[in-house]
Structure 1
Amino acid sequence: MKTADKIKNIFQTTGDSLASIFKVALMSRRLSPSASRKDSTLIIMGNGPSLREAIDSHGDVLEKYDLLSVNFAPLSADFFSLRPEMHLLADGVFFQPDAPGNVAEMWSALSKADWRMSLYVPVKYRSCLALKTLPSNIKVRYFNLTPASGWGWLVRRLFRSGLAMPRPRNVLVPSLMTAIREGYSRIVLTGADHSWSKSLWVTDNNRVVTVQPHFYEDNEKERDRVESLYKDIRIHQIYESFSIAFRSYFAVKDFADSEGVEILNATPGSFIDAFPRTRLELLG
């Protein structure tokens, strides 16, 4: 690396570090201490289309391990058959009073869960009224969505304390960081297709169209919500967002490695290239 590049990198890292400290001081809240090492496996179920095959072909494997589901998963019958120990919401749309799409239906379905479960939500939404309507068997726990980067020692300390995380472009980033803080020694990703670029195009009117298929079938109301969300988005903004997401997984991996936590990706055809691959059937 040239001297000029080294100097530029030093200034960039220092700037990122100072900005991270400022954001944490302004936005983050202290959380309860992280759990002790469980020496056990957690399977995180993303909502990508490949999860359908995973459930149908390897449901017996999923049932052997602790599970974490995300977002609209409670709207599927599989949520109630698999009975995940953890569910995580990160997108602010879930906490809007009159949110569009299937948000109200998701809260209604979640409240019907009759087993002990931990629901993880961003601490900044702790006053959301929907949280107060949940049954007592669902314990609400919190995490900070504050992004941080910069000096390695500082970032690791902020991540370990739960005060910050890599930029949470996708719900799987807070899911992975939560799983690490919960003390799991091995974390396995399923349904983490992230093959968004396959279903992205631009119309002759320069309208960006993106289709984000899930393991369950979205209804018209949810499709209308997503279409409305992307109506003013440009193609370069979408690819920039993709870049942030994929880069964040490498930051997650670096932190997991420093904590002695193994993250494996058991999603066939996944575009995430940060984690070693495996297959669900190999978990046994």
Structure 2
Amino acid sequence: MNGMPALEKVYSKMGEAGNSLLSLFRIGMLSKRVDSFSLPVAYKELVVLGNGPSLRPLLSDHSSFLEGKDLMVVNFSATTDEYAELRPKFYLLMDPAFFDDEATRQKLFVPMVEKTEWEMHLFAPVSARKHPVWQEMVSRSPYIHIHWFNATPVEGLLAFRHFYYKKRLGMPRPRNVLVACLMVALQLPYDTIYLAGADHSWMKEIWVDENNVVVEDRAHFYDKNSTQRVVSSHKLHDLLNSMAVAFRSYHEVEAYSKKTGKKIINITPGSFIDAFGKMSID
């Protein structure tokens, strides 16, 4: 019995070494060289705005908190009325549908190009390079500049992971777009990164009906007061495992932020993310 903890550590290290080799293979197959973001920024703080429902009261009741800070938005933010008022400096997309689905491209990039009248930097995964249509749409705007990032999952030994994070060749498994946002943000010249609209309260929004079908009641800030009911294509254990991957990735992001000497602060009220220090702005 006394030898079990030591044996488990050996197994753990062997597993980490195996994951390192697998990640090295992924990097070789999927990752590309990307340039670092070297443009000067006006502020020392960045706010990453997720699309959780808690973002609406932030924008309506505490918008003064955003003053004097640069902003990063995600997904369908450009379709909202608040987009032109926020004038985000950064925009990040990761879901393949934004780049390879025509209806999704039209829904997002048409208003993005029409509304953006300030210098904005759009981050997209290197895998999106192979889809020229959305790039042509974005090129119609003189204000939007495209930058690339590697969304390749990097797992394994800690030193190995941090080495390739720093090289911008991969990141913790980006099961949620905010994982990618935070890793890109850590490469930008900001000392403090605030995280808003990151409710991640999915466990309260999932249920199983009498036919054992998993149903999700999804809510986003741009849905106003409505909730979108979605029949999941996954079994419950698969869905919960996906959530676990996302929450674990945030802890890996936090460990890397400490390595870089930067601070991530979660200002989302009621957020289920337990990786970052929390702060109330009420």
Query: TM-score, structure 1 length as denominator?
Result: 0.91
Q: Which residue of 1 aligns with 2:102?
A: 98
How far residue 97 of structure 1 moved from its aligned partner, in angstroms, is 3.5
Q: Which residue of 2 aligns with 1:29?
A: 32
Higher relative contact order (CA 8 A, sep 6+): 1
**CA–CA distance in 1 between the matches of 2:16 and 2:28?**
18
**CA–CA distance in 2 between the matches of 1:137 and 1:37?**
16
AA aligned to 2:175 is R
Q: Which residue of 2 aligns with 1:75?
A: 79
- Secondary structure of 2:234's partner? coil
Residue 10 of structure 1 is aligned with which of 13, 16, 39? 13
Residue 126 of structure 1 is aligned with which of 126, 129, 150? 129
**CA–CA distance in 2 between the matches of 1:219 and 1:97?**
27
Q: 1:119 to 1:36 in 2, by over 3 A?
A: closer
How far residue 105 of structure 1 moved from its aligned partner, in angstroms, is 1.4
Q: Bigger CA drift: 60-69 or 23-32? A: 60-69
**C-alpha contact 1:34 1:161 (8 A) present in aligned 2:** no
**CA–CA distance in 2 between the matches of 1:2 and 1:78?**
53
Aligned: 1:151 with 2:157? yes
Identity of aligned residues (%): 36
Q: Which residue of 1 aligns with 2:147?
A: 141
Q: Which residue of 2 aligns with 1:200?
A: 206
AA aligned to 1:28 is S
**C-alpha contact 1:42 1:187 (8 A) present in aligned 2:** yes
How far residue 64 of structure 1 moved from its aligned partner, in angstroms, is 2.1
Q: Which residue of 2 aligns with 1:84?
A: 88
Q: Which residue of 1 aligns with 2:257?
A: 256
RMSD across aligned positions (CA):
2.1
AA aligned to 2:27 is V
Question: What are the Cα deviations for residues 171-200 of structure 1, in whole angstroms up to 9, with x where unaligned?
Answer: 000100111111211100000000011111
Question: What are the Cα deviations for residues 249-277 of structure 1, in whole angstroms up to 9, with x where unaligned?
Answer: 00000000000010000000000000001
**CA–CA distance in 2 between the matches of 1:131 and 1:36?**
21
**C-alpha contact 1:143 1:178 (8 A) present in aligned 2:** yes
Unaligned stretches of 5+ in structure 1?
Answer: none
**CA–CA distance in 2 between the matches of 1:212 and 1:133?**
29
**CA–CA distance in 2 between the matches of 1:275 and 1:45?**
15
**CA–CA distance in 1 between the matches of 2:279 and 2:225?**
32
Query: TM-score, structure 2 length as denominator?
Result: 0.92
**CA–CA distance in 2 between the matches of 1:237 and 1:79?**
34
AA aligned to 2:188 is E
**CA–CA distance in 1 between the matches of 2:93 and 2:281?**
24
How far residue 34 of structure 1 moved from its aligned partner, in angstroms, is 4.9
**CA–CA distance in 2 between the matches of 1:198 and 1:2?**
35
Q: Which residue of 2 aligns with 1:265?
A: 266
Question: What are the Cα deviations for residues 15-36 of structure 1, in whole angstroms up to 9, with x where unaligned?
Answer: 0111111110110001113549
**C-alpha contact 2:164 2:170 (8 A) present in aligned 1:** yes
